[in-house]
Amino acid sequence: MAHEKVSPKTMISNYITGVRGRVEADKDISVGERDRLVSMALDKLGSSFETYHWSANIHGIVVRLYTNSFHLYDFWVENWFPAPRSHTILPHAMIYAVCGVEGMKPRAYYNHETKTAIFVNTEYYGQCKSWALGMASDILETQHDVHAIHGSCAVIWGRGVVIVAPTGTGKSTHTWGLMGLAEGKIHSDDWIFLTYKKGLAMADISERKFYLRTDMVKSFPELIPLLEKSKCENVMDNDFGRFGNSRAIIDPEWIGGADKFVERAVVKSVILLRRDKESPPELKLNPDEAIEILKEGRYQVLAGAGENIGEFSYESYYNPYLLIKRHDVQERFFRELFSSTSCHIINTGVEGVEESQQRIRRIIKEA
């Protein structure tokens, strides 16, 4: 089927990055390598007056960005809740993002001991954002018993539903489809923080604004006027649907008003998504089956999820954002989640959006 162009009339902002997806990463550098890279970054930042820094509050964890990219700084400030402004509030984690470094390929680095990330020669915001969430989660899961999930959440008929899936399989599409119902509300689009108390799974938001794929306009053309007045990244050829990884930062309260957005939800059901041509359209899973699927993390690489598009890859818990994989902790968290919720897996590769959406609505009603 030929692509039908979805052209905005005007856009207040659209920045085209040199790197338009995640770059190769080393998530286990030594403290010595961290110090060398930070020294290089500070030298680069110190060589220009065009430097920016801002501290984000990510579920109580302060993550500070230092960069010479106005685009990264602009999206960073737009995306997050601000940390308290005081010289006594020190960051728990730091990101250095420097461009224009000669002789170095685009790459990302992380040192767990010092909670420090360094991005070199990439302005793509998506990876910077995801690592900020991963750094906050590195602290939260061990020190505060907070479960971080790469997924979306909606509330319908007063019941929260979490959708966990690889990039590009329909998390946002189906979350927004639920929000479009008269009884539906949106909670989060990409990342959720969960705490478990008295047999309940309580979901909290992570971001002030959503970082959305603009090709959602193919399913939700009503988004076009909202995206036109949002800050955009990599909208190619003046076409929101042209590039699978073009993005926009959008205020969730614009979508349907403040009454259609909630910051906390009690989760009653979990939906896993996959997209292939072989699996059945729907299966109900017991906790062991759900955890095995999540631990394997098999998915087809789609636009925005990395290189080798079309091939199958593996990402445990469908979560490339976790910088430190503590598999025993993740399994414990998910067992606690499934002890208070139902879990189904939907295959979005064998049915249309509306058929899958009807299945999800039925599952929520029966939870």
Going from the first residue of the chain to its last (367 residues), give the mean pLDDT of each consecutive group of 10, the final group possibly shorter.
Answer: 75 94 96 98 93 97 98 98 91 98 97 98 97 98 96 95 85 88 93 95 97 91 94 95 94 92 97 90 97 90 57 87 94 96 94 94 93
pLDDT in tens, 42-100: 999 999 889 999 999 999 999 999 999 999 999 999 999 999 988 889 999 999 999 99
Q: Which regions of 19-129 does DSSP assign to beta strands (E)?
A: 25-26, 52-58, 61-67, 81-82, 93-98, 107-111, 116-120
pTM of the model: 0.92
pLDDT in tens, 208-226: 999 999 998 988 899 999 9
* pLDDT attached to residue 309: 63
* pLDDT attached to residue 283: 97
* pLDDT attached to residue 158: 93
Please report, for residues 29, 38, 56, 104, 120, the alpha-carbon distance to residue 42 in angstroms, rounded to integers and kept in the order given.
18, 6, 20, 15, 12
Residues of the chain with CATH 3.90.228.20: 147-209+251-366
Q: Would strands 264-274 and 342-347 be described as parallel, antiparallel, or unpaired?
A: parallel
* pLDDT attached to residue 307: 53
Tokens found for residue 244:
């699978």
CATH 1.10.10.10, domain 22-143, yes or no: no
Q: CA-to-CA distance for 215 and 241, rounded, in angstroms?
A: 4
**Which CATH number describes the domain made up of 147-209+251-366?**
3.90.228.20
* pLDDT attached to residue 167: 72
* pLDDT attached to residue 2: 59
* pLDDT attached to residue 285: 97
R_g (Cα) of the chain, nearest Å: 20
> Which residue in 267, 277, 286 sits closest to 345, CA to CA?
286
* pLDDT attached to residue 302: 60
Residues of the chain with CATH 3.40.449.10: 22-143
